Each structure stands twice: as structure tokens, then as C-alpha cells.
Amino acid sequence: MNNNFNKSLDTKKQNIIIDTANITKTYKIGDIEIKALRGINLKISEGEFVSIMGPSGSGKSTLMNIIGCLDIPTSGDYFLENIDVSKLNDNQLADIRNKKVGFVFQTFNLLARANAVHNIELPLIYSKDKIRNKDKNIRAAIKSVGLTGWEKHRPSELSGGERQRVAIARSLVNDPTIILADEPTGNLDSVTGEEIMAIFQKLNKKGKTILLITHELSVAQHTQRIIYLRDGIISNQEKIENPTDAEERLKQMPKLEDKMNSL
């Protein structure tokens, strides 16, 4: 990593919300030990848009599970907004996860029989805290992803891009500290994927901290920093001086109808 990149990180040290120190994760299958993470030191500051890249088996999903409080490390420390979550029990992890982490998955993970509103409100239902202005929060989340008018539609009545918008709105409704997006464009065509990246960029401009997992460099280049994982370690980091502007790119991409008409 170059010195200029280190300096760019230093300016945000006071706002660090994710801080891992020598995180390891080892899985045991019988007498065999699989070392998924081998000492991860990572800092993510408030308001950053960061991507993690790596081949299959590099540890991307394991790291996301730990950062998302779905799992704990075998060793090392993980602080989320100065809370040492690496030592919490399952119930405590669930509470932190509900309050501070919003998830967006490649396969959307929506309830098939529930409409968009009911899917979006799930984090509020599971929250232990009494939520004021619940309906207002839901409406704001729907508006932020451009789904106004689609509130009563079930997943089967929505396109892939619309389903992912519902998933993003669900991740926002609790106003989490960070949004974790795991291959959010993986099941989408290129135009729809670009529309989803435009939503993430708009949210980031409004101050949302976003960590995106991807295996596509073209997707990662929409973010401000790329972290490369290989064999359970961070092999490199890259600051993106001029991230791809999704809205500008959309203007240059032919719409699906135009493609169909040209066939």
C-alpha cells in the first residue's frame, strides 16, 4: 500500500466504525482444520463505500459474516462502533445485528407470500425496541429506492431489479450503521445491475456506510476503495480516485427495449 493511501485513511481515523484486529477463523471438520481467515486487519470509516474482492475460497463470505455479526472470529478482535462484538453471545449478536447492520443478498431473501411493505418492515418487527414512526420509516425507505406505487406487490409480481430494491429498502428501514451487500448485482442483467449501483451511490452520498462483496472488478470500481482477499488474508488495497458513476454510465447503456427492437 502506498503512503498517499495510508494518509487518506489517516484523515478519517476519528470516524472509524469497523475495526478488526488480527481476525482469524478456523473451521474444524473431523481432524481437519480449514483456516478461512488468517489475520485480518481492517478499518472502515463512517461514510465510506468499500468493496471486497477475491476468488472463491478467499474468505470473503466468512469475513462478511463476522462483520455482519452472523458469526464470531476464532481469535482476534472486532469492534463495531467501539463495541467489542467478537466476544458477544448469540442473543447479543442478534440484537446488535438488528440495530446496526442492514443486509442485501444476491438472492434477495424475500418472503414469497408477503408484499413489499411487509418484507421491508421485518427488521422493525424483530426489533426489541419500540419503534416510533414505523410507517414513516417504511415510506421513506420505499421512496429512497424508487418503489413508490409498488408497496402491495409480492415478489412474484416484481422483476429482479425491483426485488433487489425491496431488499435494499429493508436494509435501510432500521437506519443501520452499515449496509452489507453480498453480490447484490449477481442475479441481474447489466442495466439493472447499474441501476442498483446507482442506488447504493446515492445512499452513500447521503452518508450511508456501505460494504459490498463482489467478484466483478467493474462493480467494485463503483466504490471508493477495493480490498483484495486471497487465501484468508488481505493481499492488497486500492483507493479508487474516480469511481464509476452509475448514473452517467446508465445514460450510455442501451435500454433492454432498444436491444430487443434491434434483434
∠ CA 86-45-233, rounded to 5°: 55
- Residue 39: helix, strand or coil by DSSP? strand
Q: pLDDT grade, residue 254 (50/70/90)? A: confident
Q: pLDDT grade, residue 253 (50/70/90)? A: confident
pLDDT, residue 11, reads: 36
3-state helix, strand, coil in the chain (%, to 5): 40, 25, 35
Q: pLDDT by residue (tens digit) across 13-67?
A: 459 999 999 999 999 999 999 999 999 999 999 999 999 999 989 999 999 999 9
Set of cell numbers at residue 254: 442501451
pLDDT, residue 18, reads: 97
Q: pLDDT grade, residue 199 (50/70/90)? A: very high
> What domains can be seen in the chain, in order of their start residue?
46-71+89-256 (3.40.50.300)
Set of cell numbers at residue 148: 413508490
Under 8 Å CB-to-CB from 242, ≥6 apart: which residues? none
Give the burial string for 223-245 (b: 16+ CB within 10 Å, else e).
bbbbbbbeebbbeebbebeebbe
- Give dist(CA 102, CA 116) in Å, integer: 16
Q: What is the pTM of this model?
A: 0.89
Facing residues of 251 across strands? none
The helix (H) or strand (E) run that includes residue 199 is: helix 190-205
Q: Are 137 and 123 in contact (CB under 8 A)?
A: no
Mean pLDDT (the chain, rounded): 90
Q: Are 227 and 49 in contact (CB under 8 A)?
A: no
- Give dist(CA 54, CA 235) in Å, integer: 9
